[in-house]
C-alpha cells in the first residue's frame, strides 16, 4: 500500500469508530430548525451534510482542515522557487488532515505523473466534438469517457465488501486527478491552438507541467497556476459543484460519474462559469466606454446599466460569504506582488471600490463583496491565457482536488444514499393552515 493510502485508512478507521459512538449517544439531538424561507430559498444554511476537508465561515472565509489561505501559503511545501504553495500539498492535507513534508509532496507529484496516462479513446471522444464546443462540455465528457477505467466500478461488479469501498475510490481519485491537467491542456490546445499539442514535461510539478502543456512558459505563470489550483480546490460541501459530486457519489456512482456531475454544476454562470463572465463583462465595458482605464464614475454608470437591464454583476455576491472573499484577496496579493501595473488588474481594483456600495444600495443583496471569480481573469489575461471560455476548466481541475478527497471520505465513513425530503406548495399551505388553527 502507498503511504498516503495507509495514512488515510488509519485516519478513516479511527473517525468511523468515533462517529458510530457519537451517533449512538447523541443521534437524536437537534442541531437546527428549518424555516419556510429556507425551503423555498435554495436550502441556504441548512446543515445536511458532513464534509471533512474544509469549512466556510461567512466572515473569515474558507479554512482547509483549519488553515486559512494565508496560513496555507506559510505552511505548505512550495514550488521550486519557494514562492507559492503546491496544490499537491493541499490535497494531502485535505485527505489526511496533516501538513505534508517536502518528501511526501515530492512522492505525490511522482505518483500523479505515474498515473497520468489518458486513455486513447478519451482523445478520440474530444476530437469527435465540434471545435467550438464549450470547453466545460468537453471537460465533462472527457471525464465521463474515462469511466471505462474505474477501479470502483470493476471491483463493485466483482462483488466488493462495502467496508472496502474507500479503497478503489482512492485509486480512482488519484488516477483522475493525475490525468486532469493533460485533458484540460488538450482541450485548450485543440480549441484555441489548432490542435498543436504539447507533450508533458515529467521533470515538473503538477502545476508547472500543466502550465507547460497549456503552452505558457515562465516561472511567474507557473506560480500563478500553483496559487490558482490551490485556492479553488474546495469551499466546503454545500456549493453546487461539491454538492453535485457528493449527491451523485452517494448512489455509489464512481468518481468519474460523480466528478462529471460536479463539473456540470460548476459550468453554470451563478457558480464557476462566473470567472468567464467577469472578464467578458469587463471587456464589454471597456469596449462600450472606449477606454482601457475608465474612471470610477464611468464604471459606476456601466454597473448601473447592467443592473437596470436585469443582469447580475458577475464576480460579486455569495450565498455564504459576507466579506471580501479571501480567495479574491489572495489573487489581489499575487497581482500586487507580480503585476501591479497591469491595466486590466487596475480596472479590477477600481471595480472593487465601485461595486460594493452600489450593490449595498439595492437593499436586497446580502453580500456586496467580490468572490473568487472577480480577479482570476485579469491575472490569466496578463500571462496570455486570454480565451475566457476556458477559465472554468481551470477552476474544475482545481475543484477536483477537494470534491474527490471528500468522496474518499464519504466512502470510508460509509455515508448513505442522499435523499432529502421535498414537499409541494399545496402541502405547505395546508400545514400553515393547521398551524394557524392550533395557535
Ligand atoms: N449583482 C446583482 N444582483 C445580485 C448580485 C450581483 N452580483 N448578487 C446577488 N444579487 C441579487 C440576487 O439576484 C437576488 O435578487 P432577487 O431577489 O431579485 O432574485 C438578491 O440579490 C438576493 O440574493 P443573495 O441572497 O444576496 O444571493 P444568493 O445567495 O441568492 O446568490 C450568487 C448568490 C453568487 C448566485 C449571487 O450573488 C450572484 O448571482 N452573483 C453573481 C454571479 C457570481 O459571481 N457567481 C459566482 C459565485 C462564486 C462561485 O461559485 O464561483
Of the residues 359, 382, 405, the one at which a domain ends: 382
Residues 55, 193 within the same domain? yes
CA-nearest residue, atom 10 of ligand 1: 365
pLDDT of residue 267: 98
The answer, as to whether pTM is greater than 0.95, is yes
Residue 31 lies in a domain: no
Residue 224 Cβ inside 6 Å of ligand 1? The answer reads no
What is the Å distance from ligand 1's center to 262 Cα? 20
Residue 270 Cβ inside 6 Å of ligand 1? The answer reads yes
What value does the mean pLDDT take over residues 253-278? 98
Residues 144, 245 within the same domain? yes
Residues 186, 220 within the same domain? yes
CA-nearest residue, atom 37 of ligand 1: 317
How high is the mean pLDDT of the chain?
98
Residue 432 lies in a domain: no
Tally of domains in the chain: 2
CATH of the domain at 176: 1.10.580.10
pLDDT of residue 156: 98
Q: Confidence class of residue 277 from pLDDT cuts 50, 70 and 90?
A: very high
Residues 127, 223 within the same domain? yes
Q: Confidence class of residue 261 from pLDDT cuts 50, 70 and 90?
A: very high
**Does pLDDT of 427 surpass 80?**
yes
Residue 9 lies in a domain: yes
Residues 243, 141 within the same domain? yes
What is the Cα 161 distance to its own chain's centre?
A: 31
Residues 175, 300 within the same domain? no
pLDDT of residue 61: 98
pLDDT of residue 15: 98
Residues 272, 184 within the same domain? yes
- Asked if 226 contacts 379 with a C-beta cutoff of 8 angstroms, the reply is no
Residues 266, 133 within the same domain? yes
Residues 60, 185 within the same domain? yes
Residues 102, 209 within the same domain? yes
pLDDT of residue 189: 98
Question: What interhelical angle do 373-382 and 391-412 show, nearest 10?
Answer: 130
What value does the mean pLDDT take over residues 324-339? 98
**Does pLDDT of 1 surpass 80?**
no
Residue 48 lies in a domain: yes
What value does the mean pLDDT take over residues 182-191? 98
Residue 205 lies in a domain: yes
Q: How many CB atoms lie within 10 A of CB 310?
A: 6
In the set 318, 325, 375, 382, the catalytic residue is 318
Residue 112 lies in a domain: yes
Residue 319 Cβ inside 6 Å of ligand 1? The answer reads yes
Query: For residue range 87-146, what is the model confidence (pLDDT) as tens digits?
Result: 999 999 999 999 999 999 999 999 999 999 999 999 999 999 999 999 999 999 999 999
Cβ neighbours of residue 38 closer than 8 Å, sequence gap 6 or more: 44, 45, 46
What is the grid cell recorded at 71? 496560513
Domain that holds residue 365: 278-382
Residue 375 lies in a domain: yes
Cβ neighbours of residue 102 closer than 8 Å, sequence gap 6 or more: 77
What value does the mean pLDDT take over residues 265-287? 98
Short-list 211, 274, 273, 238, CA closest to 402: 238
Residue 294 lies in a domain: yes
CA-nearest residue, atom 27 of ligand 1: 319
Residues 110, 209 within the same domain? yes
Amino acid at each position: 500500500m502507498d503511504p498516503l493510502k495507509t495514512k488515510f485508512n488509519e485516519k478513516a478507521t479511527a473517525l468511523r469508530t468515533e462517529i458510530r459512538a457519537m451517533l449512538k449517544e447523541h443521534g437524536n439531538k437537534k442541531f437546527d430548525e428549518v424555516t419556510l424561507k429556507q425551503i423555498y430559498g435554495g436550502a441556504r444554511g441548512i446543515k445536511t451534510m458532513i464534509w471533512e476537508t474544509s469549512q466556510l465561515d461567512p466572515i473569515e472565509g474558507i479554512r482547509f482542515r483549519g488553515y486559512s489561505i494565508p496560513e496555507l501559503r506559510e505552511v505548505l511545501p512550495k514550488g521550486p522557487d519557494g514562492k507559492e504553495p503546491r496544490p499537491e500539498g493541499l490535497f494531502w492535507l485535505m485527505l489526511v488532515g496533516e501538513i505534508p513534508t517536502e518528501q511526501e509532496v515530492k512522492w505525490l507529484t511522482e505518483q500523479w505523473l505515474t498515473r497520468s496516462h489518458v486513455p486513447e479513446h478519451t482523445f478520440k471522444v474530444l476530437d469527435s466534438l465540434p471545435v467550438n464546443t464549450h470547453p466545460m462540455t468537453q471537460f465533462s465528457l472527457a471525464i465521463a469517457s474515462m469511466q471505462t477505467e474505474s477501479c470502483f466500478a470493476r471491483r463493485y461488479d466483482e462483488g466488493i465488501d462495502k467496508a472496502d469501498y474507500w479503497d478503489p475510490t482512492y485509486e480512482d481519485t488519484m488516477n483522475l486527478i493525475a490525468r486532469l491537467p493533460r485533458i484540460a491542456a488538450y482541450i485548450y490546445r485543440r480549441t484555441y491552438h489548432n490542435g498543436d499539442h504539447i507533450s508533458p514535461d515529467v521533470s515538473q510539478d503538477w502545476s508547472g507541467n500543466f502550465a507547460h502543456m497549456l503552452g505558457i512558459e515562465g516561472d511567474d505563470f507557473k506560480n500563478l497556476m500553483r496559487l490558482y489550483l490551490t485556492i479553488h480546490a474546495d469551499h466546503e460541501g454545500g456549493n453546487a459543484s461539491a454538492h453535485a459530486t457528493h449527491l451523485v457519489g452517494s448512489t455509489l456512482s464512481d468518481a468519474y460519474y460523480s466528478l462529471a456531475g460536479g463539473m456540470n454544476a460548476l459550468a453554470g454562470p451563478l457558480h464557476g462559469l462566473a470567472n468567464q463572465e467577469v472578464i467578458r463583462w469587463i471587456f464589454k465595458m471597456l469596449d462600450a466606454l472606449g477606454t482601457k482605464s475608465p474612471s470610477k464614475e464611468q464604471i459606476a454608470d456601466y454597473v448601473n446599466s447592467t443592473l437596470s437591464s436585469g443582469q447580475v454583476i458577475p464576480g460579486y455576491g455569495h450565498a455564504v460569504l459576507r466579506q471580501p472573499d479571501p480567495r479574491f484577496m489572495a489573487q489581489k496579493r499575487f497581482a500586487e506582488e507580480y503585476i501591479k501595473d497591469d491595466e486590466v488588474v487596475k480596472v479590477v481594483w477600481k471595480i472593487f471600490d465601485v461595486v460594493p456600495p452600489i450593490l449595498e444600495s439595492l437593499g436586497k443583496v446580502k453580500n456586496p463583496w467580490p468572490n473568487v471569480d472577480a480577479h482570476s481573469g485579469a491575472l490569466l489575461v496578463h500571462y496570455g491565457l486570454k480565451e475566457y471560455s476556458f477559465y472554468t476548466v481551470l477552476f474544475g481541475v482545481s475543484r477536483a482536488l477537494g470534491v474527490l478527497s471528500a468522496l474518499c471520505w464519504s466512502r470510508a465513513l460509509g455515508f448513505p444514499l442522499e435523499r432529502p425530503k421535498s414537499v409541494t406548495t399545496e402541502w405547505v399551505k395546508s400545514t400553515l393552515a393547521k398551524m394557524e388553527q392550533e395557535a
